[in-house]
Amino acid sequence: AKALRPYVEKFITIAKNNDSLHGRRLLLSRLHNSKLVVDKLLSVLANRYQDRKGGYSRIIKFGTRKGDCAPMAVIELVDRDISAKGEIYSKNKKGSKVVTQS
């Protein structure tokens, strides 16, 4: 998670500051032409963090893994929308979550 955090911060900063063709192409080149991710960066995340100067993500430590005692952590975005789950989750009859798209 510590290695991933600088990349996430830079991608959001590029999306926030370069809302142009140059910024879109820069993000596409760094994210290997993943158009869905670039569209979300430019539309949703750039608007959400427009007033924030930095520190878009946080690292939450989970302790150690059972098998090899490796330290585990999760990286999450600050000021995220907790109620939004996206289109990939839906509920089946028993109430558990099922992935419908990948």
Q: Could you give the number of structural domains in the chain?
A: 1
Tokens for 73? 């952590």
Phi first, then psi: what are they for 77, rounded to 5°?
-85, 140
At residue 86, what is the residue type? G
The pLDDT value given to residue 1: 80
Task: Examine residue 85 and state whether it is found in any structural domain, yes or no.
Answer: no
The pLDDT value given to residue 18: 78
Q: Which domain holds residue 22?
A: 5-77
pLDDT tens column, 62-102: 899 999 999 999 988 888 777 766 555 555 555 555 454 44
- CA of residue 23 relative to chain centroid, distance: 18
Domain CATH code at residue 21: 3.90.1030.10
The pLDDT value given to residue 87: 58
Q: What is the DSSP letter of 36?
A: H
pLDDT tens column, 10-55: 999 999 887 789 989 999 999 998 899 999 899 888 889 999 888 9
Q: What is the pTM of this model?
A: 0.71
Q: Are 59 and 1 in contact (CB under 8 A)?
A: yes
Task: Examine residue 43 and state whether it is found in any structural domain, yes or no.
Answer: yes
- CA of residue 93 relative to chain centroid, distance: 30
